[in-house]
Amino acid sequence: MTHQVHIIGGGLAGSEAAWQLARRGIRVRLSEMRGSGQGETAAHHTDGLAELVCSNSFRSDDDEKNAVGLLHHEMRRLDSLVMRAGEAARVPAGSAMAVDRDHFSAEVQRALEEHPNVEIVRELVEVLPAEGMTIVATGPLTAAALADSIIEATGEDRLAFFDAIAPIVHRDSIDMDKAWFQSRWNKGDGKDYINCPMTREQYAAFHQGLLDAEKGEFREWEANTPYFEGCMPIEVMAERGFDTLRFGPMKPVGLDNPRDTTPEFPQGRWPHAVVQLRQDNKLGTLWNMVGFQTKMKWGAQVELFRTIPGLENAEFARLGGMHRNTFINSPILLDRQLRLKSAPHIRFAGQVTGCEGYVESSAVGLLAGMMAAAELAGDAWTPPPATSAMGALLSHITGDAEASDYQPMNVNFGLFPPLHDVKKKARKEAYTERAKADFGDWLGAARIAVPA
């Protein structure tokens, strides 16, 4: 099959871009280095397309007052493959959208393998193509040779930050005589998380254990690389203060311990701190420790995490880990259609552009695919409105961010044009109401075709 667009990278963004192009009748060559025998990474465990290497959560699915939930809504309206596969692989997670990671990857790969306009090639691409429409969606783990080629083409050194992976626990090794099922404030089904409570004394000992635990060594090339604030290692959070974790991943608010009742608190009192685990696969056999990404050595992790009430005999399907992510300075290097200014036949998409998060990466891949399709058809491209989640994210990447201090960013209402005349308590609902209306108008006015 002679391709019209070459996509480099079969992660979330590359897979989504391929789907959007193929559904519009455009022939795609999708190059994925994993499975080629020369493109394995420290973070991936399979060669499946769109493998989730960190959390299994796409975060909040609330599209009424949450920016990422609004992004879900917009992507669904554009027939996102990631959203399709996410629904098929969904597991309980309260008001969040979490998936069975293996099922999710298999759904994405099946859809692309079955599409006649997609050719999946297992190959390591080491140099940016000199010609032909290309989308680079290699993600935060871009191969070294290709990263060097990008640097040569852009004249800008790459930026980097650390990303971390949380441990996964076998469900049958959790002591449910100490832990209990409950979602915070009983949201969703009310019982979508396993909660392990701590007293103040237990929390103090755990906090000290995090400070004292043996940490993994940084390689020379990792020195002075900043952490991303949205995925901070738990031991680094602990270093920021005794109570930092109690206002973060170990927040006890809204969780009633049924083993600690009194006449005054018949439903149970809030513990001093809590460790939450979220279902990681459809079978419910694997649960990940929410917010427990870490750089601690594996032996130290097992020793310390087994001091958590309910996890004394925990068996770990995966321990925490850490890897370096890379991204380009998009506000300087890319135009408003994600094209490299110095080589406009090349687009960038996904986390390599400096967006952060599974859904954000997928959304930028979706937009890159639509932009490429419009260009091939000779149609003018009208971007989604800046008041929408996709438009706000795109604006951040392609020019609204401060280029001199550009950092990875999740979608959030801070990227949206402000609504100063709306009271703060009603502002989130107002943002989503405006976004949905403007996004709907864009779909109609710009004649954005969503393939049947």
**Amino acid occupying residue 27:** R
Q: Percent of the chain beyond pLDDT 90?
A: 68
Q: Over 90: is that where the pLDDT of 327 sits?
A: no
Average pLDDT for residues 142-155, to the nearest whole number? 86
Q: Over 90: is that where the pLDDT of 155 sits?
A: no
Could you tell me which residue, 404 or 123, shows the higher pLDDT? 123
Average pLDDT for residues 192-214, to the nearest whole number? 97
Those residues with Cβ within 8 angstroms of residue 264's Cβ, 6 or more apart along the chain or in another chain? none
pLDDT at site 300: 96
Q: Percent of the chain beyond pLDDT 70?
A: 91
Q: pLDDT tens digit string along 272-298?
A: 999 999 998 877 888 999 999 998 999
**pLDDT averaged over the chain?**
90
Domains of the chain are 5-158+328-445 (3.50.50.60), 165-324 (2.40.30.260)
pLDDT at site 252: 97
Q: Over 80: is that where the pLDDT of 402 sits?
A: no
Per the DSSP assignment, residues forming a β-bridge with 178 are none
Q: pLDDT tens digit string along 17-34?
A: 999 999 999 999 999 998
Those residues with Cβ within 8 angstroms of residue 321's Cβ, 6 or more apart along the chain or in another chain? 42, 43, 164, 165, 294
Q: Which of 65-79, 254-268, 367-381, 383-397 shows the lowest mean pLDDT across its residues?
A: 254-268
> Annotated binding residues, as ranges?
9-14
Could you tell me which residue, 67 or 162, shows the higher pLDDT? 67
Q: Over 60: is that where the pLDDT of 222 sits?
A: no
pLDDT at site 438: 97
pLDDT at site 220: 53
**Amino acid occupying residue 395:** S
Based on the number of CB atoms within 10 Å of its own CB, is 363 exposed (0-12), middle (13-18) or buried (19 or more)? buried
Q: Over 50: is that where the pLDDT of 221 sits?
A: no
> Annotated binding residues for FAD, as ranges?
9-14
Cα 37–Cα 356–Cα 281 angle in degrees, nearest 5: 65
The pTM of the whole model exceeds 0.85: no
Q: Which of 109-123, 185-199, 222-236, 352-366 shows the lowest mean pLDDT across its residues?
A: 222-236
**Amino acid occupying residue 177:** D
Q: pLDDT tens digit string along 345-375?
A: 999 999 999 898 999 999 999 999 999 999 9
Q: Which of 237-241, 385-389, 415-419 shows the lowest mean pLDDT across its residues?
A: 415-419
Let me know how long the chain is: 452
pLDDT at site 41: 67
Could you tell me which residue, 436 or 161, shows the higher pLDDT? 436
Q: pLDDT tens digit string along 36-73?
A: 777 666 666 788 999 998 789 999 999 998 999 999 99
Average pLDDT for residues 413-419, to the nearest whole number? 89
Q: Which of 164-178, 207-221, 383-397 shows the lowest mean pLDDT across its residues?
A: 207-221
